Structure 1
Amino acid sequence: MGYAGVIGEFDDAVVAVRLREEIARQRISRAGLAQSARLSVSTLEKALSGRRRFTLATIVRLEEALGASLRGSAVAEPELAVASPMLAPAEMGSYSRPAVRWIEGEYLTLRASFGEDGAVYAYRTDIRWDDAKGHLIFSESDRLDATFEQGGFVSMPHLSGHTYLMTSEAGQYRMIMLGRATREQRMFGLLSTLQVGKGSQLVPVSCPVAFVPLEEVVDPVFGLVSEGHARLEEYRVVLNMAMGDDFCRLRE
């Protein structure tokens, strides 16, 4: 539901993305923010990961602690409201909202585990249109490592026909590049990010990734799906399509 101009109405995914942006911009820790906002760290983490709804009281406390709005600017008079942008910025592909409605929704996201050979890591990705910003945004939830859940903007340039899910925090980027959707609206591609190495070392890493509309999955399982798990073979078959059907390639 849109939130502009109506106090108490807001989009949880938008609030989560803006909150991450402010945490990165102000260079504060989540623990420090939780203390300033008189919230528990657990409450903040669950809200950021999508496992708990933001309440108006929680948002007000966070806004007071940050000194910034997480809901956009309210408009006093309805007749003064400015129409929401219907065209994404040129640097994101200048796509229109009607042209990208098909991609909006929740997806089961699968990628190879970085820590266990043969295992699959599964979580939820939500792609939505942000009325205030005038472009698609995404947010992740149901990850075991909630601290590393990502959120950002979606770029869809016409030239390549690919979809890019970009995270930007204090100049640090993570990218997911997805090919054209199949008939089942599934998308496959490549994820590039940083993996924790020895000590404080961060190592660039890439792996195939699959996005499956959540409505297609019966009783989805999230988290680390390892050897012996009943869903491992099913998830591996889907994930292997990323390279098997030439949606992405890995070269040495």
Structure 2
Amino acid sequence: MTKEFLLLSQSADLTQQLTGLCTKAHWHLRRVTTPTGLVVALEKHPTSGIWWDLAAATLDTTIATMTLIRSQIAGPITVLTAKMTDRLQRKLYAARVDDVELLPIDDAAFRAKIEQRLWTYQHTDLHGSTPLAKPVPSEILTIGDLTIDLAAYTVTKRAQPVDLTPKEFQLLSYLAHHRQQVLSREQLVTGVWGYDLLTTSRIVDIHISHLRDKLEDDPHQPAHLLTIRGFGYKFV
């Protein structure tokens, strides 16, 4: 199976170099230019690993985003930086980054390291030391013509299954648990993505739009997923 890597970078030269490396390795590279774009792309496409150019984001945004996405990817995350310091490495490794590489990279050495990291992820039970979650009692919410089965992770509309991504289902479940309440984008980011990262509040708007497309009869005049201007969203 072809390995799929996600690159965050605004550098044309770095993108060209890594594209050439991937071509030789028979890997596929997908490029984004913003942290929000990376989080959205991670939701839509399977990813074997992430290459993060630190020049494209601040260190605080990088660390916050790593906290946001680390549990979503069972593959190596590599940060590429033009300047290396002990403080930088400590902070990034604390955020569960696999490697911090100094630019410019050597193609052969970088490829060898990535192949080794992929092998490690493939042959290691990364969750083996984590206790299994306790079974969740079956809870079925019926709201209008929607049925949300929180235990089975399924949604139906008028008895027809609705195909949601894992994060779309988590967002819908969170809204359903807090139905009739106005929730800010920041509350939704914290409750669903697990980190209070204001710069990713746009992610909420994108996922709400996707849910409306899939759940509402008329996404432009939603009956359930309401926008409360100046405040956030409410599920009714």
| TM-score category of the 2 structures, normalised to the smaller one | under 0.3
Name the structure where strand makes up a greater proportion of residues. Answer: 1
**What TM-score, normalized to structure 1?**
0.25
Q: Which has the higher contact order (CA 8 A, sep 6+)?
A: 1
**What TM-score, normalized to structure 2?**
0.26
Name the structure where helix makes up a greater proportion of residues. Answer: 2
